[in-house]
Amino acid sequence: MREVRYRAIADELRHRVERGELAAGALLPSESEMSAAYGVSRVTVRKALELLRDEGLIDARQGFGWFVATDPVRQTLGRLGTIEAQLGELGVGSERRVVGFRFVAASPRVRQVLDSDTVLEVRRVNYADGQPFARVTVWCPEEVGARLSRADVESSPFYELVDVPIGGATQTIGAAAAGRDDAHLLAVPAGSPVLRCERVTRGVDERPLLVSEHIFPAHRTEFVVELPHVEPSISPSGLRLVE
């Protein structure tokens, strides 16, 4: 009887995925929640989930639980560009939604980089094919932000809004855990693995123009960089130890 029940649960979940009720990358309820909803043991639920994983429909990661299988969105680190542009090249539809627009006292880190006591802070969520893909916060000096509106930053990249030629940027990427606010915005469990990217964008005169923080769900994101063959090495180019 148990075998029939777990197959019935698998069939229902499979149909929900095939009908698009559960989108690619979407998290499934926890095993304990499904156990209570279906009135079965967690062993039965686990057998149903493992059956669907064997079919390639769902997958699991430590810290996330079970989710609808999806190919990670890959971002190239070899050139400066926007999330939207890179997603567009991959044929992925993108959208940005601004969730915060305000002038604030600069944090010590932002003040150090931008040399500005007051900054415009813009928080937004980026979506890839309708699923939350990144939480992005951008800080710019007050004199730059004073020329911008919420509608401006919702419709155009900052690179197009700052009236200064862009010279380049430095990105630092590390592992982190999703805080409660980011977990809510990205629809992932609090404490689950995320990738944190800090980008400092400079003008052609090397003066920092923008500081941004990008938080990506780790199960949906890959960063790719081409490593030119220069000399034998066991360390990736650009590796820096955290002190």
* pTM, two decimal places: 0.73
pLDDT in tens, 35-67: 999 999 989 999 999 999 888 888 887 767 888
Q: In DSSP terms, which residues pair with 139 in a beta bridge?
A: 121, 211
Q: What is the CATH number of domain 73-224?
A: 3.40.1410.10
Same fold, 2-68 and 73-224: no
Q: 168: which 2 tokens? A: 């380049």
- Range 98-107 average pLDDT: 95
| Range scoring the smallest mean pLDDT among 1-5, 82-86, 215-219, 220-224 | 1-5
The SS3 assignment for 211 reads strand
Looking at residue 1, its pLDDT comes to 44
Q: Which CATH architecture has domain 2-68?
A: Orthogonal Bundle (1.10)
Q: From CA 203, how far away is CA 169, in angstroms rounded? A: 9
What Rg do the C-alpha atoms of the chain give, in angstroms?
A: 21
| Side chain identity, residue 4 | V
Residue spans per domain, the chain: 2-68, 73-224
Type of residue numbered 49:
L
